[in-house]
Structure 1
Amino acid sequence: MNNLLVYGLTLATFCHCLQLPSSFKKCDKRRSDFNNCLSDVVYNTLKVFDKPLKSHGFPSLRYVEFPPEAVIEIGNRTYGLAQKFSKFRLAGLSQPEDIKTRLDFGPVFSTLTMELSYSKLAWDYEYEGQGTMVLLPLNVITPVECVLYNPTFTFMVKLEEYNKGATYFRVIDFEFDMKEIDRTTINFQQLFTNRRLNDEFNSALSEKGLQTFHIFKHLQVKLTPYFGTIFKSFLEKIPVAELFDE
């Protein structure tokens, strides 16, 4: 199962130092076009991870499954609606349309910023609702698909160099943001037993998709650590000298 937790554990138990594929391009950080070069490297690397890289123990990033503990809960069934979102899966992470990457080196910390633009990304998850929705009692568990059109995912990684026989990067802070969504569609497959009501609800909700996105956008912080697992585990096994030309 392509699970972010499994991803991290697999890397952590691999070898002490991973050797990158011979096709991996290194960028010279002394050059003025370093960030452009790095953007190309990240773009091509994600394309490689569209399929599992079995020789290095990396699973595919085309379909990323989040671990069971990645759960978002809001509301209260006593005074409204208790809602639970779980079993997240993200489809399309390895297929960006464009990437802008910047790595700012500092005397103590370095900061890696990546903006990944997509034509479409799909979040699949399970929704559980218990309580009352506009006076209508609700007690349901249903699969949901939420499609984001032209989103931009931003990752900001704060890095610290340390030595363990060679120089490595340690992730000491990680931020994730979803922004610049053109529109979104939401499909609750079995929210209501009445199919017509279910379809019309999805249609009405999708029409208000951008408003719904901004209302719930702050909850993305709940998923941030699981994205950070990928970066942390990868960089802990790759010496800095494997990544850049000095």
Structure 2
Amino acid sequence: MTRNSFNQNLATMKLKLICFVIIFEFCSSAKIPSNFIKCDRKKPDFKKCAPGAVEQAMRQMDKPTKELGIPSLSPLVIPSLSIAGGEGSVKLDQNYKNVHIYGLTNLSCSKLNVDFENKIIENECLYPEIRMVSDYNLNGKILVLDIMGEGKGTITLEKVRIPVKYDLEEYEKNGKKHFRVTNIDLKMIPERVRFDFENLFNGDKKLSEHVLNVINENWREVYDDAKASYEDAFGQITKDIFNKVLSKVSISDMFGDE
């Protein structure tokens, strides 16, 4: 299911993303931590420097970033995520609680472009593995198979390419100019997705193994049914984290003076 068709059928699909909360220590302003790479927009190597700076900064966020008031992103924890079934061959209601997301700080970035005039940032990074571990509840159909169960579940996305476009607006705070993300367009393009759900069919081992084989053999259809929901959820997470950073670090502190 494409993003456009997903948006057009939003009412039918009844997507529900239960709000997640990330706790931050708030401070009025801050500078980029001294161990982060800083790239000056006036220097000729800015475009070459910027992707590495993002990669290096994210890798260091496997621990709390006290200067910016950001907790560890390894793992990132969100309370819950609910995805209603689609209209195709996969009609599966998916409910996840106590979601732990691993792998966000292990990445390699190939692109980061900043259009200061039009206030747009575009970047693309590759994540070897993003793993979501949660308490799950599934109910619905995949192809002709009825699916039901609840327990511990793991969804693993392998070699995930994530291009992101940020639309920004500029505002002034404490006499300095800051950016704020107003819209985000994030795609998640994995080479493979693996699903592992314990206790399907109330622990019927034989039936569970058969159904899990079907799910993993048809992983693309299963993932595509929920792809827009995952992208929206990860987009909101990314937007929220980036805005917390941007609210504390001015444009000139982050990118150098104009």
Scaled to the shorter chain, the TM-score interval is 0.7 to 0.9
Change beyond 3 A, Cα 1:75–1:39: closer
1:201-244 deviation per Cα after TM superposition (whole angstroms, max 9, x unaligned): 21222122123222321223541323311111211111112101
Change beyond 3 A, Cα 1:30–1:195: same
Question: Which of 113, 121, 131 in structure 1 is aligned with 2:130?
Answer: 121
SS state of the match for residue 29, structure 2?
A: coil
4+ runs of 1 displaced by more than 6 Å? Answer: none
Say if 1:62 and 1:95, in contact at 8 Å, map to a contact too.
Answer: no
Say if 1:4 and 1:230, in contact at 8 Å, map to a contact too.
Answer: no
Say if 1:52 and 1:59, in contact at 8 Å, map to a contact too.
Answer: yes
Deviation at 1:187, TM superposition (A): 0.6
CA distance in 2, matches of 1:238, 1:5: 22
CA distance in 1, matches of 2:52, 2:241: 19
- Please state if 1:216 is matched with 2:216: no
Q: Percent of aligned pairs with the same residue? A: 25
Deviating more after overlay: 22-31 vs 235-244: 22-31
Q: What pairs up with 1:73-92 in 2 under 5 angstroms?
A: 73-74=84-85, 83-87=93-97, 88-92=99-103
Change beyond 3 A, Cα 1:39–1:144: same
Letter in 2 for 1:173: N
Change beyond 3 A, Cα 1:135–1:160: closer
Deviation at 1:147, TM superposition (A): 1.0
Letter in 1 for 2:206: R
CA distance in 1, matches of 2:28, 2:250: 10
- Please state if 1:112 is matched with 2:124: no
Question: Which of 241, 245, 250 in structure 2 is aligned with 1:230?
Answer: 241
- Please state if 1:167 is matched with 2:183: no
Deviation at 1:157, TM superposition (A): 1.1
CA distance in 1, matches of 2:141, 2:105: 39
CA distance in 1, matches of 2:231, 2:58: 23
Letter in 1 for 2:245: F
SS state of the match for residue 123, structure 1?
A: strand
SS state of the match for residue 160, structure 1?
A: strand
CA distance in 2, matches of 1:182, 1:53: 31
Deviation at 1:82, TM superposition (A): 6.2
Letter in 1 for 2:45: D
Q: TM-score under structure 2 normalisation? A: 0.79
Correspondence for 2:12:
none
Change beyond 3 A, Cα 1:220–1:29: same
Deviating more after overlay: 198-207 vs 53-62: 53-62
Correspondence for 2:74:
62
Say if 1:157 and 1:171, in contact at 8 Å, map to a contact too.
Answer: yes
CA distance in 2, matches of 1:203, 1:191: 12
Letter in 2 for 1:105: F
CA distance in 2, matches of 1:139, 1:198: 10
Change beyond 3 A, Cα 1:31–1:182: same
Correspondence for 2:166:
157
User: Alpha carbon RMSD of aligned pairs, Å?
Assistant: 2.6
Q: TM-score under structure 1 normalisation? A: 0.83
Say if 1:27 and 1:34, in contact at 8 Å, map to a contact too.
Answer: yes
Letter in 2 for 1:177: K
Letter in 2 for 1:41: A
Change beyond 3 A, Cα 1:89–1:203: same
CA distance in 2, matches of 1:135, 1:200: 10
5+ long unaligned stretches in structure 1: none
